[in-house]
Structure 1
């Protein structure tokens, strides 16, 4: 007989984390724990208000789904019983972890993947004034890949210029968080090309991104808020060059694996991203990030502290997760 618990945890952020939609000083996560005899599986998710999710509602949905399925709670049944989103992610990853613990076989083998290796992750600089972002970039100039949040205001070019000045050798990803318009997106991309920007995430609001079709941009575009799971993938072809795969969007590792295969068939390149969360959320994401063109799994680096057995970082290099943590 399995026992399932759902806990809400709060983890302090080192300073604050700011994007165009607001700031926060702590990460609120949901941890699902499934116990079966001496074995325990865990999964972590971060509900996101942009997708009309609240911590309270998602926690309640997880409990209701687990109770409804009972002993029929499997990864396959979960895909049909629960809508794609953060809650399904936590349950799905907990089921993967439990199977790995019970079988003695790591998740990467269960999923038919190659053994995970170290990864270089981007490091995110919060939205701020150009002067503040210059100082932040200087402090992180040793990192090979920096991702900067911008806000869709007239200072965006100045922000990127400041980061480039502060970190002259780093590769840059710019995350517009739906902040630009159809009228300025090409001008912005053209201007940023002079600063060595390698990728632009979600330049336009989801409902306006058809304006990207047919544009010839000097910098590739990556779908984030426009890309969730398998549904709607075909529409992204011709709009974006990359998709940002996040487990809280796909609803877990199970669908993420299918999304990766689908994207490759459609010649879409891959970025694997995360919310601000602990290493428990990064561990399953690391498995799908092994062959990604860009990796953005810096959640634990943005926290004041991480959980026990957390992923080890040496600068921006991530070690594969210990099995005591997950998988």
Structure 2
């Protein structure tokens, strides 16, 4: 490699852990938290810096520290010319690759003075309606939280197993006009699956997300599903779509699972071709993590990109939210 080629590929990577306080707490079936721990990757070259943000997920064995280390280990490959295409094979799908994939996309867009959707040959994103999440709690606490959000058109309700029929009934009473989707986060069992599904259907719930544990979801293929059932923990990237069609009607695509926008776009195309409905989801994080997903949201039946709304404050130049409408990112944020 000549010195001029070496200079051309001399990208510099900086990665760090950030902590963002949550407004109150965020509770699902696996526990509660009061802050969002994110990892940010910044790749600089030629006077431009691209950024990407990810949320390590303990459910998949990830921590902020291991994710940071995985990113830092990519400095040498980046300096030797690793590009976004090669990255897909160089790192496994997961949070670390998501941050780096999105940072490289942002850098490429800035370097070419283009918006990222133009770069990728995709339609310009438009404002869309996002779900707003109601954390798991007692039926009374969830009804009170729902009443404050009852004017929002789409609510996502976190459930947790025992008592879910009472929870969803209380929520529906508090928000009679809102479309409801629910997320059990693997907390149901084969014993209460059909009862809970029918209770949701009777109360007009549109979708149930990941009712059973990913390792024990075969029962979904043996029952008649009265409403749409969406895979989350059971689906990660294109390779995990195979065999899910008998068990699920929809898939939740999250960048932290797919390992970035590059794979997520291909996964959405593949899922559509297989007949799945698409949900675009997120972890609790800042607008930097949501921005790339706006390219996916344009063709999704369900959009759940409310992460910044759950924080005490967002980062500078964050996405614009007007009620439940979320607008595409400005270039100052990403892409």
Q: TM-score, normalised by structure 2?
A: 0.96
Matched, 1:139 2:157: no
- Which residue number in structure 2 is paired with residue 170 of structure 1? 178
Which of 109, 124, 129 is the equivalent residue of 2:138?
129
8 Å contact kept, 2:42–2:51:
yes
Runs of 4+ in 1 over 4 A off after TM superposition: none
- Which residue number in structure 1 is paired with residue 79 of structure 2? 70
Structure 1 position 67, deviation (Å): 2.3
- Which residue number in structure 1 is paired with residue 237 of structure 2? 229
In 1, the alpha carbon distance for the partners of 2:267 and 2:77 equals: 27
Which of 214, 231, 247 is the equivalent residue of 2:255?
247
In 1, the alpha carbon distance for the partners of 2:73 and 2:186 equals: 33
- Which residue number in structure 1 is paired with residue 95 of structure 2? 86
- Which residue number in structure 1 is paired with residue 11 of structure 2? 2
Aligned CA RMSD, in angstroms, stands at 0.8
Structure 1 position 69, deviation (Å): 4.3
In 2, the alpha carbon distance for the partners of 1:105 and 1:45 equals: 23
8 Å contact kept, 1:66–1:73:
no
Structure 1 residue runs without a partner (length 5+)? none
Which of 197, 201, 225 is the equivalent residue of 1:189?
197
Matched, 1:47 2:56: yes
In 2, the alpha carbon distance for the partners of 1:91 and 1:18 equals: 28
In 2, the alpha carbon distance for the partners of 1:325 and 1:72 equals: 25
In 2, the alpha carbon distance for the partners of 1:289 and 1:167 equals: 25
SS at match of 2:42: strand
8 Å contact kept, 1:32–1:44:
yes
Which of 103-112 and 120-129 deviates more?
103-112
For residues 244-296 of structure 1, the C-alpha deviation after alignment (integer angstroms, 9 at most, x for no partner) is 00000000001001100110110011000000000000000111111100000
Matched, 1:149 2:158: yes
Structure 1 position 118, deviation (Å): 0.3
- Which residue number in structure 2 is paired with residue 307 of structure 1? 315
Q: State the aligned residue count.
A: 326
Structure 1 position 214, deviation (Å): 3.5
- Which residue number in structure 1 is paired with residue 328 of structure 2? 320
In 2, the alpha carbon distance for the partners of 1:225 and 1:163 equals: 24
In 2, the alpha carbon distance for the partners of 1:306 and 1:84 equals: 26
- Which residue number in structure 1 is paired with residue 21 of structure 2? 12
For residues 142-175 of structure 1, the C-alpha deviation after alignment (integer angstroms, 9 at most, x for no partner) is 100000111111x111110111111110000110
In 2, the alpha carbon distance for the partners of 1:59 and 1:30 equals: 7
Matched, 1:100 2:73: no
For residues 112-146 of structure 1, the C-alpha deviation after alignment (integer angstroms, 9 at most, x for no partner) is 11111001000000000000001000000010000
SS at match of 1:72: coil
Which of 56, 60, 67 is the equivalent residue of 2:69?
60
SS at match of 2:217: helix
- Which residue number in structure 2 is paired with residue 280 of structure 1? 288
Structure 1 position 230, deviation (Å): 1.1
8 Å contact kept, 2:41–2:100:
yes
In 1, the alpha carbon distance for the partners of 2:229 and 2:74 equals: 36
Structure 1 position 65, deviation (Å): 2.4
Structure 1 position 210, deviation (Å): 1.3
Q: TM-score, normalised by structure 1?
A: 0.98
